[in-house]
Amino acid sequence: MAEPVVVVRELRKAFAGITALNGVDLEIERGRVCALLGPNGAGKTTLVRILTTLLRPDSGSVRVAGWNVLEEPGEVRAAVGLTGQNSMVDGLLTGRENLLLVARLRGAGRREARIVADDLLDRFRLTDAARRPAGGYSGGMRRRLDLAAALVGGPRLVVLDEPTTGLDPESRLDTWDAVADLTARGTTVLLTTQYLEEADRLADRITVVDRGEVVATGTADELKAAAGTSRVVLCVAEDHHVEPATRAAASATGAEPRVDRRARRVEVAVTDGQAAVGRVLANLTAAGVEVLEIGLRRATLDDVFLGLTAGPRRRPG
Ligand code: ATP
């Protein structure tokens, strides 16, 4: 079988005593979309910078499209298209001029650059805006132009570093559509994101990172299954009922509930949904707790994320 497009082994990187990556392993097969999901400061950008040869690792090995990032950085750069958190688009140039520039930088001749640029403008629905300065584009159009620029030269791997951070909801949907188009064509993609919904929607596989370490990896469904199948959620009427309700939920399920004191809300993971609701309710009644709401809901990727990345957060740098 062909080597995966990305192979990362035991990758470590520290900045002046701060560990950014602490032994990360990652593989992305050809044609797959991998989401690297993690909170602020998890190490996502550091990994992307190493993969794209912008930063040297302290130790470990990183191969992209069969090339070693330390020994063959030029080949790696030629094989990767990157769009970052900050747009690379030049606002003074038109959309078309931006793409022509990137194509020429990537070694295309004039004629070929024009063909590539016009094709990408068409594909990313930018033909009508092609001759306007990109500075006047909406957030979503800018990201589409960024994506188009990352595809110039037909890279083996496209890296999208937090592609929708800072976008309004409409532009985010617009960008998701553009990424979905990319993935439908079998492009291999590494996507970093802090948004569960984004990972759930766009990725085949999700690798959850926290504090420089991989804490889980799998499909969205596998991760959800690992977090328990469902949750009993309840709200109580009085502040002083939160404690007894938490104890009642814990003893009925054997799991540790999650408590939101301000909302007087208690939530606990269960495997036998309906029966568990009955037991929790019986315990609550026996404890004299007045319940405003009680119900069952399916585990979401949020549950996975919170369960895996809980604990005191190191301050992001
Ligand atoms: P975000 O979602 O905020 O972009 P991230 O997951 O991309 O976060 P990184 O930017 O990779 O996280 O940072 C990982 C850790 O390394 C953080 O603690 C950060 O402060 C630290 N770090 C990253 N780059 C540097 C640097 N150039 N100098 C010092 N510390 C750094």
The highest-level CATH class for domain 6-218 is alpha beta
89-128 residue pLDDT tens: 889 999 999 999 999 988 899 999 999 999 999 988 899 9
CATH architecture of 228-298: 2-Layer Sandwich (3.30)
pLDDT at 173: 86
Q: Find, among 94, 61, 63, 64, the residue nearest to 81 by Cα.
A: 64
35 Cβ partners below 8 Å, 6+ apart? 191, 192, 193, 198, 199, 202, 203, 205, 206, 207
Residue 312 has pLDDT above 60, yes or no: no
132-158 residue pLDDT tens: 999 999 888 888 899 899 989 889 999
Question: At 239, which amino acid appears?
Answer: D
Per DSSP, 94 falls in state: B
Ligand 1 geometric centre to CA of 44 (Å): 8
pTM of this structure: 0.78
Residue closest via CA to ligand 1's atom 16 equals: 20
Q: Round to whole Å and give the CA distance between 57 and 69.
A: 9
Span 156-167, mean pLDDT? 88
Most ligand 1 atoms within 8 A of CB, residue of 18, 21, 86, 192 to mutate: 18
Q: Round to whole Å and give the CA distance between 37 and 199.
A: 7
Domain residue spans of the chain: 6-218, 228-298
Residue labelled with tokens 């001749």: 109
End-to-end CA distance of the chain: 40
What average pLDDT is seen over the chain? 89
Per DSSP, 312 falls in state: P
Span 188-205, mean pLDDT? 89
Most ligand 1 atoms within 8 A of CB, residue of 44, 194, 209, 215 to mutate: 44
pLDDT at 36: 94
